[in-house]
A and B are shown apart, each in its own frame.
Chain A
Amino acid sequence: MIKAILIFNNHGKPRLSKFYEHYNEDTEQQIIRETFHLVSKRDENVCNFLEGGLLIGGLDYKLIYRHYATLYFVFCVDSSESELGILDLIQVFVETLDKCFENVCELDLIFHVDKVHHILAEMVMGGMVLETNMNEIITQVDAQNKMEKSETFIFQSTRQDR
């Protein structure tokens, strides 16, 4: 099971946090900090797996991460998941984001955190993998956007936004 999915930048600023187990707000923030602390001090070409931080469950959990440019993508998983499989899943997630945002960058994640959540929801649900096929995921996201567009069009034509 995937316990949590965290994205933060090179300075530890969270860009997405999704917990599939309930923690209180404070603990979640601490987990993010601890995970950043663990992951960021590692060299570039060491392995992509390490034992989880103490707060997230330690020895029984693994942090599986990839570092892309300014962002760390970290999945915290239990022993029922294949490490390399999760590494591929991260890759699928990033490639999907890249397709959806067209050359995704950190700013996209900042300004569209809701969209990132929706995309992730097409892949992972309640900590388990729902879909691994990128085209299928993008089809779903596209369908969402179409519905969204048809609705927002009605809004924005009539509104002064502030």
Chain B
Amino acid sequence: MPAVSKGDGMRGLAVFISDIRNCKSKEAEIKRINKELANIRSKFKGDKALDGYSKKKYVCKLLFIFLLGHDIDFGHMEAVNLLSSNKYTEKQIGYLFISVLVNSNSELIRLINNAIKNDLSSRNPTFMCLALHCIANVGSREMAEAFASEIPRILVAGDTMDSVKQSAALCLLRLYKTSPDLVLMGEWTSRVVHLLNDQHMGVVTAAISLITCLSQKNPDEFKTCVSLAVSRLSRIVSSASTDLQDYTYYFVPAPWLSCKLLRLLQCYPPPEDGAVKGRLVECLETILNKAQEPPKSKKVQHSNAKNAILFEAISLIIHYDSEPNLLVRACNQLGQFLQHRETNLRYLALESMCTLASSEFSHEAVKTHIETVINALKTERDVSVRQRAADLLYAMCDRSNAKQIVAEMLSYLETADYSIREEMVLKVAILAEKYAVDYSWYVDTILNLIRIAGDYVSEEVWYRVIQIVINRDDVQGYAAKTVFEALQAPACHENMVKVGGYILGEFGNLIAGDPRSRYVPFCLMFTLLFFFSLVPCLLTCSQKLRPQSRRCCAAIARSATQMLNCSSELRVKEFHLQRFWSPFSQATVLEEMPPFPERESSILAKLKKKKGPGAVSVTELEDSKRESGELNGAGERGPDPSVMAASNASTPSPSADLLGIRSAVPVSAPASSGSLLVDVFSEAGPTASSGAVNDDGFLRFVCKNNGVLFENQLLQIGIKSEYRQNLGRMYLFYGNKTSVQFASFTTTVILDNCLQLNVQSKPVEPLVEGGAQIQQVLNIECLTDFSDAPLLNIKFRYGGALQNLTLKLPVTINKFFQPTEMASQDFFQRWKQLSQPQQEAQKIFKANHSMDTEVIKAKLLGLGMALLDNVDPNPENYVCAGVIQTKSQQVGCLLRLEPNAQAQMYRLTLRCSKDSVSKRLCELLAQQF
């Protein structure tokens, strides 16, 4: 007889569900639902008191409507009435409603808590279980406050029914997770641990989750659980398949519990007690032996359950990492699974082997499977499995096989799934650097990387190759030659041009003998037209090559500007050219970059942030830090203070630029780690940001104009901007990171707080295809000085759901600065003129970033003012001057920044001809250093 009889349901509910199912269209369905919601609402509000049955029927209808995706904002009170009823069916449905539609209204929670209290003290096990379920499902702070002391009592009381004990264990676990401060185990600890010995396997099943969690948090207090767990495990493992009756699942004794016991043991080091340890090793051996026995059933459930235990046992062996014998057996077992016909087993074997590869005992054994793994990377149909294979290759890589593995990963990249390309690129870049013996191989690898997957090569990666080339004399000539060759290709990726620009800029002279190299400025000049932001490095580069090329270069720049004069964009470019053409910049631009002080590779830092299997372990990180240090030839230079000082002494703008970007945006990680999914939780998904204004990116753009403003799992917004006088132009790049089209894509600039600006833009295309990027241009005019920033609202539909996002646009008053050079005398004269108290704004604040001279200078230059040398009597201090151009007026500004390296503090003083400007600049800048 079926346990649920189908005939005795509620007819009204069945009719309603049938109605919904018969609806021909979504509209009809919504209409029917709204009708029902109105009906229920009126019934609940009506004068006639509803009986329990009707309430139950309506609450069930609401649950059904909720499941269909409609928000339910009423009915909670009726549900509370139901759960306070004495009738089981009403109570059950009332609790269900509250568990599904959790509501944090405190008045409501108070009523629910009252009902729970009654049920807990009712001594009716069914009611007690319902109440415990409700606490475990809602798990709010108020509930923890009300019941945290009561639940342990129920759990360990001698007369509590087994089913109630089970519920109490998990209820307590939930409260411990939400409010650990309220759950005081103290006196209960030992009795809770002894639940591992309970006769009822269900109680052990529930209790072990609780004990595992508590052990993770308080390993010492709970360490007696180790011997109990071992003996329980040993009893299960050695039992005949029929001993445990109902807990035998497809001929495997208590597989779930065995797995959990093995997990619990992974919270601890190997047992110290010889007898316990011996017993455990015996268990593990038995489990490994059983894997070789012929299966007791052909059903997949049988092998599943058996292998579930086996994989947990292997995890424990790897965790202990102390029994070479077991480790090798584990590795062999996994090796068998690598070629198993079950995809699940291949997946798990690759995953487990990944951890095994880091053990010194088994690293070599893992390496013997390299061909199989490479084959998996090439032939597996399932992207999840291929991803695990890539992780494992990364983990097993060492100097002996690096070339092979990197080559395989590169060739895989050509066809890899979009979702994993960025991570693959990072891995290849790290391996290439870590195991590079000859650096020409490293340079080749990174250039290949850019060629194959240029879009996924992040700033960190291409900055790194430049750093390494600069630090190693022996590879500079090769690098210059290779990038030069690479730039001959008819189409180059933007990142290739950037790397090429920097490297030829520095070391172009090393290939000056090549007759073709006089064309370098020409070909680079053309790319200039496309990648306008690269002007500085292109010009640097051309200057390095030959004096006569320089003239060509200027001529081309001029003719290019004239040619495209119709476009006003180019006027901005022209402006930039002039700026870099000035004798001032020529002088600094021609200096060589100093060696980079060695620091932790930013790429590693980035991958470290990408958690998940296959990410770098801590030891690995340290390893590679050490290795890369010595390999770069900078290891010996890095810590040497004299070199550091030397590099600080010169002020070449290219290096300041690089360092500046790197430290201003700490590895730009928060933004560009978009596929980093962990942080989604903290904000409950991208839609959650709808109401609030996101200004995370805003402050990063005070001292720079280009970069990624915003990034989440769906969307990336990049910015390039240019300002001249009181006008600015901002290019916004909206990139769809998913494979799904965004529909109804609209953007709106909101100037409510910022009427001092005039912003014009054209609407964007309403459809953004998966993987595509669209551009929008904003023309900005500054009418008068301003403090608040304009907002950018973005709306679109992703898979039916409306996304709504509001960002602060990084338009700040300092963007309209014109630098003003002046002599010391003039500076102090003007400083004195601006002596009214309101004209000055001052802040003393703690350094949030490196106090490195170059970094500070780069930021001040980025701010847009002129950085004046030899003005302040104290050479440690920085002074700047500039004029803010608005349509209505010009505001003169002077700045003085006094660092105190010992105290790690700054004093920032601003004097401006308009007091609101002093104040605003001071606010903005105090957060930059």
Contact = CB atoms under 8 A, between A and B. Distances in A.
A134 interface: yes
A27 interface: yes
Interface stretch (B228-236, B367-375, B623-631, B682-690): B682-690
A26 B801 contact: yes
Interface string B365-383: 0000000000000000110
Contacts of B301: 88, 91
Contact of A134 (B100, B173, B246, B263): B246
Contacts of B311: 82-84
Contacts, number: 249
A115 B610 contact: no
A34 B799 contact: yes
A87 interface: yes
A60 B612 contact: yes
A138 to B, nearest CB: 6
Interface in A78-116: 80, 82-85, 87-89, 91-92, 99-102, 108, 110-115
Interface in B249-280: 249, 255-257, 259, 263
Interface string B291-309: 0000000000100110110
A33 B69 CA distance: 10
Contacts of A15: 67
A55 B205 contact: no
B123 to A, nearest CB: 16
A12 B798 CA distance: 16
A144 interface: yes
A59 B676 CA distance: 8
A152 B407 CA distance: 70
Give the residue among A47, A117, A161 with the most B Cβ atoms within 10 A: A47
B53 A54 contact: no
B799 A87 contact: no
Contacts of A37: 740, 799
A58 B612 CA distance: 9
B608 to A, nearest CB: 13
B693 interface: no
B133 A159 contact: no
A92 B249 CA distance: 9
Interface of A: 14-18, 20, 22-27, 29-34, 37, 42-43, 45-52, 54-55, 57-60, 80, 82-85, 87-89, 91-92, 99-102, 108, 110-115, 117-118, 121, 125-136, 138, 140-145, 147-149, 151-152, 155-156, 159, 161-162
B249 A29 contact: no
B809 interface: no
A54 B249 contact: no
B717 interface: no
Contacts of A87: 304, 308, 344
Contact of A126 (B64, B173, B685, B688): B173
Contacts of A114: 60, 63, 93, 96
Contact of B100 (A31, A112, A117, A136): A117
A126 B137 contact: yes
A29 B66 CA distance: 10
A34 to B, nearest CB: 7
B256 A88 contact: yes
B308 A25 contact: no
Contacts of A102: 2
A85 B259 contact: yes
Nearest to A29: B69
B906 interface: no
Contact of B126 (A59, A83, A144): A144
A148 B259 contact: no
Nearest to A145: B3
Contact of A58 (B4, B308, B680): B680
A33 B799 contact: yes
Contacts of A84: 304-305, 307-308, 311, 344, 348
Contacts of B381: 43, 46
A117 B202 CA distance: 20
Contacts of B513: none
Nearest to B343: A47
A31 B680 CA distance: 12
Contacts of B209: 128-129
5 contacts: A18-B100, A50-B384, A60-B677, A129-B256, A134-B246
Interface stretch (B9-17, B431-439, B527-535, B548-556): B9-17
B658 interface: no
User: What 5 pairs across the A-B complex have the smallest Cβ distances?
Assistant: A58-B677, A126-B136, A59-B612, A84-B308, A46-B382
Contacts of B676: 58-59
Contacts of B167: 125, 130
Contacts of A23: 684-685
Interface of B: 2-6, 8-14, 17, 21, 53, 60, 63-64, 66-69, 71-72, 87-89, 92-93, 96, 100, 102, 126, 132-133, 136-137, 139, 163, 166-167, 170-171, 173-174, 201-202, 205-206, 209, 212, 246-247, 249, 255-257, 259, 263, 301, 304-305, 307-308, 311-312, 343-344, 346-348, 381-382, 384-385, 387, 610-613, 675-678, 680-681, 684-688, 713-714, 740, 799-801
B687 A27 contact: yes
A27 to B, nearest CB: 5
A58 B678 contact: yes
B171 A16 contact: no
A161 B263 contact: no
Contacts of B68: 14
Contacts of B255: 85, 88
Contacts of B259: 82, 85
Given A30-B801, A130-B206, 15 more contacts: A14-B68, A22-B102, A30-B685, A42-B382, A46-B343, A46-B381, A47-B344, A58-B678, A84-B305, A111-B13, A114-B93, A126-B170, A138-B3, A147-B88, A148-B8
Nearest to A58: B677
Contacts of A138: 3
Nearest to A45: B343
A128 B680 contact: no
B382 to A, nearest CB: 4
Contacts of A108: 4, 6
Nearest to B3: A100
A132 B611 contact: no
Nearest to B20: A110
B416 to A, nearest CB: 15
A125 B137 contact: yes
A59 B247 CA distance: 32
Contacts of B206: 125, 128-131
B296 to A, nearest CB: 15
B92 A144 contact: yes
Contact of B205 (A17, A24, A129, A134): A129
B678 A47 contact: no
A37 B739 CA distance: 11
A138 B72 CA distance: 32
Contacts of B687: 26-27, 30
A114 B69 CA distance: 16
A46 B6 CA distance: 36
Given A125-B133, A136-B246, A57 B678 contact: yes
Contacts of B685: 23, 27, 30-31, 54-55
B87 to A, nearest CB: 5
Contacts of B89: 147-148, 151-152
Nearest to A99: B3
B3 A155 contact: no
A22 B104 CA distance: 11
